[in-house]
Amino acid sequence: MACPDGIRLATRVWSPQGEGPWPLLLMRQPYGRAIASTVTYAHPSWYASQGFLVVVQDVRGRGDSEGQFGGFAQEAADGAAAVRWCRSLEGGNGRVGCYGFSYQGLSQLLNSGAAAGPRGGLDDPLPDCLAPAMCGVDERLHWAGEGGAHWWSLGLGWGLQLAAEGCRRRGDRDGWRRIRRALESGTYLEEGLELLQHHDPGGMGLEWLQLDPSDPAGWRVHTPDDALLRRPLLLIGGWHDPHLNGVLDLFGRSLAAGGRPRLCIGAWSHLDWCGGLDRLQLAFFQHHLGGGDTRRVDAGPADPLRTSVPSPDWLATSDAGGGVRLQCPRSGIWSGEAGGEARGAAGWRLASDGLAAIRADEGRLMPSRPGGEEGKGGGWLTLVHDPWRPVPSRGGHLGPSPGLVERSDLDGRADVACFETEPQVCPLRLCGRPRLRLEAGADQPGFDLWACLSVVQADQRVLQLSTGVCRVLGDRAQALQPRELALQPLTVELAAGERLRLSLAGAAWPAIAVNPGDGSPPRGGSGPDHRIISIDLSLETARFWLEPLLPPQIGAN
């Protein structure tokens, strides 16, 4: 495909058998078009067998395409040109849908065509419908960091993957092998910045790691046109995916623009979709591009333990504010309920007599009732972070092995403070965005607080559900001040007899870099200059609660 500036983009087309014309599905990605995101999606030939032309394109400067790779900033113009080109492709009927996750998710939403005003027919640069998965528009908050901390292992790993592709295109075999060895051995966690500076000094990965994740200055926030956000959207997220907040933000943006998006959040990580959702996605494209008969789509084999995706019939409903389907990670059950508070509790207070780090069962998480007497919290606690043995990250949405994990051994450490509810008298459903506010300060000009929310099961196993971080640097770290942590959104059911546990630590290596404690930005694991950090926690006003998962006007569907 030739772009308006003459750059040619390598593109492959899969065609159905039989006579067309056919609707078309477009994916634009930076990893080599032969991969076609088959790490999470069915091969394009499967979609072609269902009656779609499928086009997979190497973005500018990647794979076999010409030009220099400039990251997301280049995709708006090229994306509009690609949609126009697809509308006139031989064998197509002029109808175009887009799909893809991660980079391929955002590339669908970056389209400069709307700026030229409304156009119709084959000259329309906007796709007729989109299915962006696991992406967001804010490069700081949805791609690179949270709580003032960079995504360390994820950010380095992805940046080095892009750098290795640059080495391949330049014929730098030694550079490619050096990056590959670092990723396979784990030494990239310490050497990654140097590798990026040497092999991809102008790349997006290094740029992000050099910016301050606590300050929006210098970061790009992309703004999809409202006309695009009003097109039919199937937004796909995972509870264990780092881009989930970006997907939720896109859902709100589409509603605000007057769209009626569909939102599907499964018990998935970035690369593990537990069997995929190709049948649901096919139903979405058939509904909007191929006549709307979703009954043609087989829902797939029944699973006695869980259903991998919602029923395709959901796509044909007419929910007033946009359709929502959420999967419980523990049971696998799908629900349309997206209520923003825990049933039976408006929040919890924290309490300890000072031994919550020494004894995992000493700290207390006490419910506050709406309009009633609040649980009496309070106390004082000191956590000591030793850089020689930093608390490791495990599972969650930021670590190398994401998902639900057992963490009773971590909670048994003396540098992890635990706060726990009484056993539930009746089942409790949690759905929302967990938040923690408490007063904290340290004896050094820099500290981290890492929070984990878990369920203590009847067999005493501790299942981690959600994590979050707050990083504080500079003089303000040494003052006892209110701090707030935002944990990964979640939905989960607790059974009677189970308990909710909140755990706090001063590190989570390698999900986030180890704080040196001298006020400088963390840049890797522990080193000889890292300081022991004592973190004081005042619990008198400490509160843990859930904010609504979705905009208030959505409620349940």
Tens-place pLDDT, residues 481-498: 999 999 999 999 999 999
* DSSP letter (8 states) at residue 36: T
Phi, psi of 235, deg, nearest 5: -95, 130
Task: Pinpoint the alpha helices (H) of 50-136.
Answer: 75-87, 103-109
Distance CA 92, CA 54 (A): 10
Residue type, 250: L
Half-sphere exposure at residue 398, Cβ-oriented, CA atoms within 13 angstroms? 31
User: For position 340, what pLDDT does the model report?
Assistant: 45
The top-level CATH class assigned to 11-141+219-335 is alpha beta
User: For position 453, what pLDDT does the model report?
Assistant: 99
Distance CA 38, CA 58 (A): 15
Nearest in space to 486 (alpha carbons), one of 418, 397, 362, 368: 397
CATH topology of domain 347-547: Jelly Rolls (2.60.120)
- Indicate the pTM of the whole model: 0.94
Fold match between domain 11-141+219-335 and domain 347-547? no
Phi, psi of 69, deg, nearest 5: -75, 125
Kind of pairing, strands 363-368 and 481-487? unpaired
E-strand stretches of 134-250: 145-146, 149-150, 234-240
Distance CA 98, CA 113 (A): 15
Distance CA 352, CA 362 (A): 7
User: For position 345, what pLDDT does the model report?
Assistant: 53
Map out the domains of the chain as residue ranges. Answer: 11-141+219-335, 151-210, 347-547
Please spell the DSSP secondary structure of 534-548, one letter per residue.
EEEEEEEEEEEEEE-
Nearest in space to 433 (alpha carbons), one of 469, 485, 487: 487
Each residue's pLDDT, cut to its tens digit, for the chain (557 residues) gives: 999 999 999 999 999 999 889 999 999 999 999 999 999 999 999 999 999 999 999 999 999 999 999 999 999 999 999 999 999 999 999 999 999 999 999 999 999 987 665 566 788 999 999 999 999 999 999 999 999 999 999 999 999 999 999 999 999 999 999 999 999 999 999 999 999 999 999 999 999 999 999 999 999 999 999 999 999 999 999 999 999 999 999 999 999 999 999 999 999 999 999 988 999 999 999 999 984 444 445 544 444 334 566 777 777 665 554 599 999 999 999 988 776 445 445 699 999 999 999 999 999 999 986 555 555 789 999 999 999 999 999 999 998 899 999 999 999 999 999 999 999 999 999 999 999 999 999 999 999 999 999 999 999 999 999 999 999 999 999 999 999 999 999 999 999 999 999 999 999 999 999 999 999 999 999 999 999 999 999 999 999 999 999 987 544 34
Phi, psi of 44, deg, nearest 5: -55, -30
Please spell the DSSP secondary structure of 478-499, one letter per residue.
GS-EEEEEEEPPEEEEEPTT-E
User: For position 307, what pLDDT does the model report?
Assistant: 57
